[in-house]
Structure 1
């Protein structure tokens, strides 16, 4: 991670037009582009932030490719809720501190086994496994990923 950016304590409302029609990802059925669709206003703070004082934006390092199969790419921005860290569940994507460094991984917990898993089939990074007595600090839980296509 390169940057940790706190979310404003009292964010201003920014309303963005929201197109209520659905966009197909498969074959088109030739619906009319001229058809009228209702437009609503959408507040990104309301959509993406559940706990403003505990929410941070974290940028993934440019060389970090261990989570690309989870949709987290180098340079992605992660919206992280720090308050959820102590309550993180198995299968959550978390920001953890391992050997003094921040990492983003999928948390795996079963009985006494705790692992941090990468998601990149092409590179098959080994899991980070914790044995009893080893400390694992879960800094926060990733709630959203923002990725630009440029």
Structure 2
């Protein structure tokens, strides 16, 4: 069997989270208005631990840094940090980190009548149909995308 390499437009650097210390940070209790500011309120501060807020399955979670532009229309851009949970079952429409023919990529999963596809969110890239010839694995489901405001 000959496996041809498919260029999917996105490469990932993967990291495991460090849970050795909690990460409690203050959070405004009343929220932040994206409309008109409200008059001064009590400004009560609560504590939020980002490890607990963003990660449901610590043993099955890892991070990946995005390299590429195949998912820009889904709000995933070059340099973004993905939170990926390997314990979540893949389903149609989910954004997933997949291993295909020797490389990691992030795409939307699409189950169609004629098979499984990995769908980019950038018209410059083509969908990838997964066949028996591909070495393929859904590595995990993207639960959060972290990036700086643009």
TM-score by length of 1: 0.83
Residue 107 in 1 paired to residue 109 in 2? yes
> Which residue in 2 is equivalent to 1:148?
148
Please state how far the C-alpha of 1:134 moved relative to its aligned partner: 4.6
CA distance in 1, matches of 2:58, 2:15: 12
Is 2:31 aligned against 1:22?
Answer: yes
| Aligned match of 1:74 | 78
- TM-score, with normalisation over the residues of structure 2? 0.83
Among 42, 49, 56, which residue is 1:43 paired with?
49
Pair 1:31 & 2:38 matched: yes
Residues 106, 77 of structure 1: alpha-carbon distance in 2 compared, 3 angstrom cutoff: same
Deviation at 1:13, TM superposition (A): 1.3
Q: Which has the higher contact order (CA 8 A, sep 6+)?
A: 2
Shift of 1:31: 1.8
Aligned to 1:57: 63
Gaps of 5+ in 1: none
Instruction: Show CA shifts across 1:90-132 (max 9, x none).
Output: 1110011122111100001134421100112xx3421001246
1 or 2, which has the higher strand percentage?
A: 2
Deviation at 1:135, TM superposition (A): 4.6
CA distance in 2, matches of 1:100, 1:136: 9
Q: Secondary structure at the match of 1:45?
A: helix
Alignment length (residue pairs): 140
Q: Distance in 1 between matches of 2:96 and 2:103?
A: 13
RMSD: 2.0
Could you list the structure 1 runs, at least 4 aligned residues long, displaced by more than 3 angstroms after superposition: 131-135
